Amino acid sequence: MGNFITMPKLGMTMAEGKIIKWLVEEGATVEKGDYIFEVETDKTSLEVDVLYSGTILKIYYGAGETAPVNEPVAFIGQEGEEIPEVDKSAAAAPEEAEAAPAPAAAPAAVAPAKKEVTKEKAKRPEGNFDYDLVVIGAGPGGYVAAIRAAQLGAKVAVVEKDTVGGTCLNRGCIPTKAYYASAKHWKDIQNADEFGISVSGSSFDWKKILNRKNKIVEQLTNGVGGLFKKNKVELIQGEAVVEKANEVKVGGKTYTCAFMLLATGAKPASVIKTDARLLNTDQILDIDKLPASIVIIGGGVIGCEMACIFNAFGVQTTVVELMDQILPMTDDEVAATLAEHMKKSGINLLTGTTCDEIKEGNGKYTIKLSNGQTMECEMMLEAVGRSAEGSGFEKLDVKRTPKGCVEVDDLMRTSVDNIYAIGDINGKFQLAHAASEQGILAVEHMFGGIESADEQPVPSCIFTDLEIAFVGLTEKQAKEQGIPVKTYKFPYAANGKALTLGEAEGFVKVIADERWGEILGVHIIGAEASSMIEEAVMAMRCEATAQAAGSTIHAHPTLSETLMEAFLGASRGAIHM
């Protein structure tokens, strides 16, 4: 029985492809894996291989013609076999193609709908206003949006009730990474003997570590202030109150604006009901001395990062996580590898467990756990995530999700005309770099006109002892979507550079569509994962197949060769495994 050869989906935003030329003719005999035509997408040009052996019985789309993703472009089978007809004018959807007389290829993943595209600016409301744009919140989404709007010629003001830089600079990304760096240096000193270096009399000073963190934060927040001045963005200090679409009240004064951008971020969530005083993820970053022991409620990103930091400095550390695994948003193998590493490092991990009762007294906490265990500690941290910060505009009639996030469309517009919302407040991603990109998209729609609002692959990084970075789907998610996948895992232990660095623990895992070679997800756990993930992001952004990414020459000896081998392993085969 024959099979259709369909237009492959070579990227997350690809909806159609133009056939540049056929490399075979009707009647040609081909083997599985042979390249049969060249296709041009909106980002790249690639040769497409055939998934079956047989004879090319019919070519439906000729050179220069454009076919939708998953539309049959040719039919392959045995000589004399009946050839089904394809109605090109109807541009059959994948489901229709599968229902053709002959059996089609394996069901393909449905291409995501193209996002709304407009080359026109947003319609400016009539009237005279104090500002073209008022941004509420000076975090990585708000301040980046403000600067970009000013570059586009807008008169911009930013309202901030605290210090510029938002959660990321003041209470999140930067402070934790400063602590992470100190912890890593301290562990490197302790492991120096592995490199033939003897160290004696070493010690650390927590107050100096704290001061270093504060200086870095101050330097960066001052930098944001300098960027405001350079770009003529006015900073208004105070808490914003918004009741009307074009008015912002701050300290009793009213400012009018043509457009408004909500970038209020998020605040630490709390789910533990207790009279005991638990520290939240903001407060933990400014403790003036380390405790002898700590229990961290929550095995998510912040909980695991802080657990590794405290453990590195000798604090007896326990993580209590409700779910059956830590980091439930990550690939199962990645989470399991980190859990094993944390346990070997001396961290007590209690998954599938809750704190049923917490009592505080005599300078310590007594905790009764759902597993029947009772434990004591000097400090407790509640790290159960963050919730959208929606205060200040409660009377504004914007649609919200059940979790309190502001609903937005693909251009970050809310349900109220000329008001946009970006970052943590819209609930799409709780990532600084995503907020920045959303802010740029929003203001370019307001003032500059945009070419495309296509979804981009968004990477995530976790700075635990073993760094974690990932982009795209996990293996489990891909299979749940019914996508036939080919996965490959290349270990750091097989990489020369990793061995020289003493960083042999970890791996790179690639998930690819086994039909087209599309890179669906990349997951890295190990040294410099946060830096290496950008290669995977770029490959997915440019719609490179796993084979194309893997056959790209990588310098030797480098950690990035682990990515090369993993890409090859998910396509034609790795070399060094």
DSSP assignment string, 165-193: THHHHHHSHHHHHHHHHHHHHHHHHHTGG
Q: Does residue 116 surpass a pLDDT of 80?
A: no
Q: How does pLDDT run across 213-227, given as a tens digit for each residue?
A: 999 999 999 999 999
**Cα–Cα distance for residue pair 444/452, rounded to 1 Å:** 11
Indicate the average pLDDT of the chain.
90
Return the closest-CA partner of residue 30 out of 46, 17, 48.
Answer: 48
| Domain assignments of the chain as residue spans, ordered by start | 3-98, 131-268+387-448, 283-383, 466-569
**Cα–Cα distance for residue pair 3/18, rounded to 1 Å:** 21
Sign of the Cα pseudo-torsion (27, 32, 35, 41, in order): positive
Per-residue model confidence (pLDDT) at position 137: 95
The pLDDT of 229-256, averaged and rounded, is 94
**Cα–Cα distance for residue pair 281/168, rounded to 1 Å:** 12
What are 525's two structure tokens? 């756990």
What are 152's two structure tokens? 């586009």
Task: Compute CA 105 distance to the chain's CA centroid, rounded to the nearest angstrom.
Answer: 32
List 349's β-bridge partners, or say none. Answer: 319
Q: Are 37 and 21 in contact (CB under 8 A)?
A: yes
3-state secondary structure of 159: strand
What are 126's two structure tokens? 């009539």
| pTM for this predicted structure | 0.83
Q: Are 11 and 543 in contact (CB under 8 A)?
A: yes
Return the closest-CA partner of residue 510 out of 563, 443, 431, 577.
Answer: 563
Q: Phi and psi (nearest 5°) for 311?
A: -60, -40
Identify the weakest region by mean pLDDT among 302-306, 421-425, 452-456: 452-456
Catalytic residue ranges: 556
One fold for 131-268+387-448 and 283-383: yes
Q: How does pLDDT run across 257-292, given as a tens digit for each residue?
A: 999 999 999 999 999 989 899 999 999 999 999 999
Between these two residues, 46 and 392, which has the higher pLDDT value? 392
Q: Phi and psi (nearest 5°) for 340?
A: -65, -40
DSSP 539-568: HHHTT-BHHHHHTS---SS-TTHHHHHHHH
Q: Does residue 112 surpass a pLDDT of 60?
A: no
Residue with tokens 């693909």: 410
The highest-level CATH class for domain 131-268+387-448 is: alpha beta
Size of the chain in residues:
577
Alpha-carbon separation of residue 277 from 128, 266, 286, 340, 365 (angstroms): 50, 21, 16, 31, 9
List 5's β-bridge partners, or say none. Answer: 74
The pLDDT of 411-421, averaged and rounded, is 94
Q: How does pLDDT run across 323-346, given as a tens digit for each residue?
A: 999 999 999 999 999 999 999 999
Q: Are 297 and 374 in contact (CB under 8 A)?
A: no
* β-pair type (131-136, 156-160): parallel
Q: Does residue 108 surpass a pLDDT of 50?
A: no
Alpha-carbon separation of residue 250 from 241, 247, 255 (angstroms): 6, 10, 8
Per-residue model confidence (pLDDT) at position 357: 95
Topology at the third CATH level for domain 466-569: Enolase-like; domain 1 (3.30.390)
Per-residue model confidence (pLDDT) at position 451: 59
Q: Side chain identity at 428, as an amino acid letter?
A: K
Per-residue model confidence (pLDDT) at position 32: 85
Alpha-carbon separation of residue 124 from 232, 258, 259, 260, 272 (angstroms): 21, 7, 8, 11, 46
Q: What angle do CA 368, 370, 371 make, to 5 degrees?
A: 100
User: According to CATH, what is the number of the domain 3-98?
Assistant: 2.40.50.100
Q: Which CATH architecture has domain 283-383?
A: 3-Layer(bba) Sandwich (3.50)
Q: How does pLDDT run across 487-521, given as a tens digit for each residue?
A: 999 999 999 999 999 999 999 999 999 988 999 99
Per-residue model confidence (pLDDT) at position 2: 84
Q: Side chain identity at 169, as an amino acid letter?
A: L
Q: Does residue 102 surpass a pLDDT of 70?
A: no
